[in-house]
């Protein structure tokens, strides 16, 4: 393969030209191998279902791969990789693959990375978002003094959502499908190298594409139901509807039609419970760091010029939170719709927001949570490719107002 020099360090125009050269030079091989392109064509593969709902594997569907490292994948993908690994070991034992030299298969096939738990990553993201962005704004003059209780905290948080949803997600559903997510969330991808940079073309070519065992590597992968990621050839991705993967699915009592329902979860079903958890934790952390606030003795007076009194902010207990806030389902539905509609840039007016919120509350009351959440998701989700149709960000003029 001819060398290209794409790198994240290059200026945008030069990087684009090099990426095009890499794509054009990438070898198809003797069998005209199909590859996966997580940069352009297959960005959300395994992270959305056929309805374009964000999904992630249920922990019960995850299985450890054979090898020394603790690497995991969805059960049928793990089985397929283990079979591929065994085949490589057999070829080494019989001499079909040399056991000496620097070939990519000479030392066997060892998984270095696999499934990553998106809920753990989302937790880390939200913690960093709170400490790095939300807390500094909440304690800033002009905002800190307006927060006496949880109700005030919610009002200020909603204002922050309005200001910053174009910069980062707030819900796990948006997080999974954002650029902060990774193909490893799907459970369908396994990496045999954890030392190389996906943005650097030269190692992809020198270590993989130009290796004498590269075609053998791809042939064995294909015979076990795997494609390679064109932009990271050390990444194996299970091929949807391939007979090899279908067999492994059957061994785990699923098929292509039942796989998502049996092995995956829809993230939107847990978004509201997540919001309840994080807002309570954010508020209590804020109170611990800022237990008192100075309030003017005369309401409406300038704090800097009038007498003030010190007011203690109270930690929200679990019992108090449940009684006063957590059980108010209509409130949380309305709040969640606001957050999702802002982070997916719905071009709504106040009437549209109120209408969706009212209908969702009716679904919740008469049809249950799943029906309400399904309706909300249909109204607010950002469909794949929407950004290519809408040339600029839209910002609806609706606001969060508690009913």
Question: What's the pLDDT tens digit per position in 115-147?
Answer: 999 999 999 999 999 999 999 999 998 899 889
* Residue 176 three-state SS: helix
Taking residues 307-314, what's their average pLDDT? 83
Tell whether the model's pLDDT for residue 5 goes beyond 50. Answer: no
Name the class of domain 12-116+185-256. Answer: alpha beta
Element (H, E) at 271: helix 271-289
Question: CB pairs under 8 A, 24+ apart, for 192-196?
Answer: 192/104, 192/109, 192/110, 192/111, 192/112, 192/234, 192/235, 192/236, 193/112, 193/234, 194/112, 194/113, 196/232, 196/234
Query: 269: pLDDT confidence band, cut at 50, 70 and 90?
Result: very high
Spatial CB neighbours of 251, under 8 Å, sequence gap ≥ 6 = 76, 79
Among 154, 149, 152, 153, smallest CA distance to 313 is for 149
Q: What percent of the chain has pLDDT over 90?
A: 63
Could you tell me if 335 and 271 are in contact, meaning their C-beta atoms sit under 8 angstroms apart?
Answer: no
- Residue with the larger pLDDT of the pair 301 and 369: 369
Q: In whole angstroms, what is the distance from residue 56 CA to residue 186 CA?
A: 6
Query: 10: pLDDT confidence band, cut at 50, 70 and 90?
Result: very low
Tokens of 381: 């989700």
Residue 389 is predicted with a pLDDT of: 56
Taking residues 22-38, what's their average pLDDT? 61
* Residue 196 three-state SS: coil
Q: In whole angstroms, what is the distance from residue 265 CA to residue 401 CA?
A: 31
Tell whether the model's pLDDT for residue 72 goes beyond 60. Answer: yes
Query: 304: pLDDT confidence band, cut at 50, 70 and 90?
Result: low
Tell whether the model's pLDDT for residue 288 goes beyond 70. Answer: yes
No. of helices (H) and no. of strands (E), the chain:
16, 9
Tell whether the model's pLDDT for residue 209 goes beyond 90. Answer: no
Element (H, E) at 232: strand 232-238
Q: How far is CA 280 from CA 142, 272, 319, 351, 367, in A?
A: 22, 12, 12, 29, 27
- What beta strand segments (E) does 274-328 contain? 292-296, 308-312
Tell whether the model's pLDDT for residue 151 goes beyond 70. Answer: yes
Could you tell me if 344 and 382 are in contact, meaning their C-beta atoms sit under 8 angstroms apart?
Answer: yes
- Residue with the larger pLDDT of the pair 8 and 224: 224
Query: Mapped to the 3 state alphabet, what secondary structure does 363-395 carry?
Result: HHHHHCHHHHHHHHHHHHCCCCCHHHHCCCCCC
Residue 138 is predicted with a pLDDT of: 92
Kindly provide the b/e burial profile for residues 309-335, where b requires at least 16 CB atoms within 10 angstroms of the residue's own CB: eeeebeebeeeebeeebbeeebebbbb
Residue 230 is predicted with a pLDDT of: 85
Tell whether the model's pLDDT for residue 27 goes beyond 90. Answer: no
Residue 205 is predicted with a pLDDT of: 81
Residue 21 is predicted with a pLDDT of: 62
Tokens of 192: 């045999």
Residue 47 is predicted with a pLDDT of: 92
Residue 100 is predicted with a pLDDT of: 86
Q: In whole angstroms, what is the distance from residue 394 CA to residue 77 CA?
A: 40
pLDDT tens, residue by residue, 197-207: 776 778 788 88
Q: CA geometry: angle at 15 spanning 221 and 199, to 5°?
A: 40
- Residue with the larger pLDDT of the pair 204 and 89: 89
Tell whether the model's pLDDT for residue 210 goes beyond 50. Answer: yes
pLDDT tens, residue by residue, 352-402: 999 999 999 999 999 999 999 999 999 999 877 666 555 555 678 898 877
- Predicted TM-score (pTM) of this structure: 0.87
The DSSP string of 48-92 is B-TT--BEEE-GGGEEEPSSSS--EEEHHHHHHHHHHHHHHHHHH
Tell whether the model's pLDDT for residue 12 goes beyond 60. Answer: no
Residue 101 is predicted with a pLDDT of: 82
- Residue with the larger pLDDT of the pair 244 and 402: 244
* Residue 320 three-state SS: helix
Query: 223: pLDDT confidence band, cut at 50, 70 and 90?
Result: very high
Tell whether the model's pLDDT for residue 4 goes beyond 80. Answer: no
Query: 332: pLDDT confidence band, cut at 50, 70 and 90?
Result: very high
pLDDT tens, residue by residue, 37-64: 665 556 788 899 989 999 999 999 999 9
Element (H, E) at 264: strand 264-266
Tokens of 313: 């902010």
Tokens of 46: 């395994």
Q: In the chain, where does the domain assigned CATH 3.30.1380 lie?
A: 12-116+185-256
Residue 302 is predicted with a pLDDT of: 56
Among 293, 260, 311, smallest CA distance to 50 is for 260
Tell whether the model's pLDDT for residue 309 goes beyond 50. Answer: yes
pLDDT tens, residue by residue, 248-261: 999 999 999 999 99
Q: Please provide the average confidence, as pLDDT, over all residues in the chain.
A: 86
Residue 293 is predicted with a pLDDT of: 86
């Amino acid at each position: 393969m001819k060398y290209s020099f794409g790198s994240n360090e290059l200026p945008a125009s030069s990087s684009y030209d090099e990426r095009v050269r890499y794509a054009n030079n990438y070898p198809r091989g003797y069998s005209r191998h199909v590859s996966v392109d997580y940069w352009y064509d297959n960005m959300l593969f395994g992270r959305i279902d056929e309805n374009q709902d964000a999904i992630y594997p249920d922990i019960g569907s995850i299985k450890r791969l054979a090898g020394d490292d603790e690497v995991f994948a969805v059960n049928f993908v793990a089985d397929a990789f283990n079979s591929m690994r065994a085949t490589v070991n057999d070829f080494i034992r019989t001499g079909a693959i040399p056991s000496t030299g620097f070939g990519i298969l000479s030392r066997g096939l060892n998984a270095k990375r696999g499934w990553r738990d998106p809920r753990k990553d989302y937790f880390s993201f939200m913690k960093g978002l709170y400490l790095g962005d939300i807390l500094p704004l909440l304690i800033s003059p002009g905002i800190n003094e307006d927060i006496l209780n949880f109700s005030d905290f919610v009002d200020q948080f909603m204002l922050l959502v309005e200001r910053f949803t174009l910069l980062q997600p707030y819900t796990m559903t948006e997080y999974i499908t954002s650029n902060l997510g990774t193909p490893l969330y799907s459970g369908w991808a396994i990496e045999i190298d954890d030392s190389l940079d996906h943005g650097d073309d030269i190692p992809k070519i020198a270590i993989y594409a130009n290796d004498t065992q590269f075609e053998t590597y791809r042939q064995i992968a294909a015979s076990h139901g795997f494609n390679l990621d064109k932009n990271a050839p050390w990444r194996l991705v299970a091929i949807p509807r391939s007979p090899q993967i279908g067999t492994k699915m059957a061994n785990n009592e699923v098929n292509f039609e039942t796989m998502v329902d049996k092995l995956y979860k829809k993230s939107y079903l847990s978004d509201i419970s997540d919001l309840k958890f994080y807002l309570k934790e954010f508020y209590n952390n804020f109170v611990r760091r800022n237990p008192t606030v100075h309030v003017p003795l005369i309401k409406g007076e300038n704090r800097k010029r009038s007498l003030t009194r010190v007011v203690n902010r109270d930690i929200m207990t679990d019992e108090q939170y449940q009684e006063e806030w957590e059980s108010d389902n209509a409130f949380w539905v309305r709040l969640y719709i606001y957050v999702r509609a802002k982070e997916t840039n719905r071009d709504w007016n106040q009437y549209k927001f109120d209408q969706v919120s009212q209908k969702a509350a009716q679904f919740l009351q008469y049809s249950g949570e799943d029906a309400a959440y399904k309706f909300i998701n249909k109204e607010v989700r950002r469909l794949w490719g929407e950004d290519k149709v809408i040339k600029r960000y839209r910002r609806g003029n609706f606001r969060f107002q508690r009913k």
